[in-house]
Amino acid sequence: MIKHHPTFELIQSFVNGDLPASLSAAIAIHADMCTECQAQIAQLTEQVAENSFEEAFLDRFIVDDSDVVEDLDVYDFEAMAEKIMASNDVSEEKTYEEKTIFFKDILYALPRSLQNMEIGKTANIGKLARSRIQLNENEVHTSLLHIEPGGSVPEHTHKGFELTLLLDGSFHDEHGEYVKGDFIMLDGSKQHHPVSTHGCFCYTVANDSLHFTQGINKLLNPIGSLIY
């Protein structure tokens, strides 16, 4: 069961079209798996549409009654209705062709929001494998991350933000257990040690490298940007 969701502010920014492609895709993917956020997005979208209509067009329809009657006489509503009913135009639904990706001989289906995005080559570090998604958002790095069963990311904190969206499998850290669909947003105030007992596949977004905080793992800090 999904327990971790985007904040209301993030969802509102998504509906308003204010988020970069990396975060917009994350919320769209999460919403495909979460009925609760689907409903919230639908409600906010309806409100935005209503507000936009009122602001942009309402003043155009404030006219005198005499003008309304005169304008209505111009239209042949019966002819318009017949033309609509006689039309054979039917919008064809586009077929959805599922795209997949391999990590360690495991085949994963890509979410629809990622279908047209360019995905780079896979880099392997121990039981971790990562493929960058080429969104060209400067310091923001977006990736597909695979953790093999028994694999983990050394304990770390973040210089910026880190978003992890679980696409498959599960992992746990000091703060709890995470399952498919969970949307985990962390910043520099949190540190954790993600461990995946059975393996997992994630969509990640980070705007700076990881900062490892424990023992010998601190030696990995120069390559922290290679993981997320």
Is residue 196 within a helix (H) or strand (E), and if so which, with residue range? strand 195-196
User: Would you state the structure tokens that stand for residue 126, as one six-digit string?
Assistant: 């121990």
Are 71 and 109 members of one domain? Answer: no
Residues of the chain with pLDDT under 50: 68-70, 72, 215-221, 223-224
Q: Which of 55, 86, 117 is the last residue of a domain?
A: 86
- For the chain, the domain total comes to 2
Is residue 112 situated within a structural domain? yes
Question: Could you tell me the two tokens for 61?
Answer: 């329809």
Residue 215 and residue 116 share a domain: yes
pLDDT value for 4 = 97
Whether 41 and 148 map to the same domain: the answer is: no
For residue 94, is it within any domain? no
Based on the fold, state whether residues 52 and 141 are members of the same structural domain.
Answer: no
Does the residue 3 lie in any domain? no
Do the domain assignments include residue 42? yes
Establish if 2 belongs to a structural domain.
Answer: no
Which of 174-189 are b and which e, b meaning 16 or more Cβ less than 10 Å from the residue's Cβ? eeeebbebbbbbbeee
Domain that holds residue 109: 100-226
Do 56 and 139 share a domain, yes or no?
Answer: no
Q: Based on the domain organization, do 203 and 104 belong to the same domain? A: yes
| Phi and psi torsions of 209, nearest 5° | -75, 160
Boundary residue ending a domain (86, 116, 135) = 86
Q: Evaluate whether residue 93 is within a structural domain.
A: no
pLDDT, residue 106, reads: 92
The 10 Å Cβ neighbour count of residue 1 is 6
In-domain check, residue 46: yes
Q: Are residues 73 and 120 in the same domain?
A: no
Q: Is residue 104 located within the same domain as residue 201?
A: yes
**Cα-based angle 111, 113, 116 (whole degrees, multiple of 5):** 105
Same domain, 68 and 111: no
| Same-domain check for residues 70 and 113 | no
Q: Is 105 left (phi over 0), alpha (psi -120 to 50) or beta?
A: left
| Cα dihedral value 177, 148, 134, 99, nearest 10 | -100
- Could you tell me the pTM of the whole model? 0.76
Q: Which of 57, 86, 115 is the last residue of a domain?
A: 86
CATH code at position 166 = 2.60.120.10
Q: Is there a single domain that holds both residue 77 and residue 121?
A: no
Judge whether 56 lies within some domain: yes
The token pair that represents 40 in the structure block: 């919230």
How many Cβ atoms sit within 10 Å of the Cβ of residue 209? 20
Provide the CB-side half-sphere exposure for 218 (13 A, CA): 4
Residues 152 and 214 reside in one and the same domain: yes
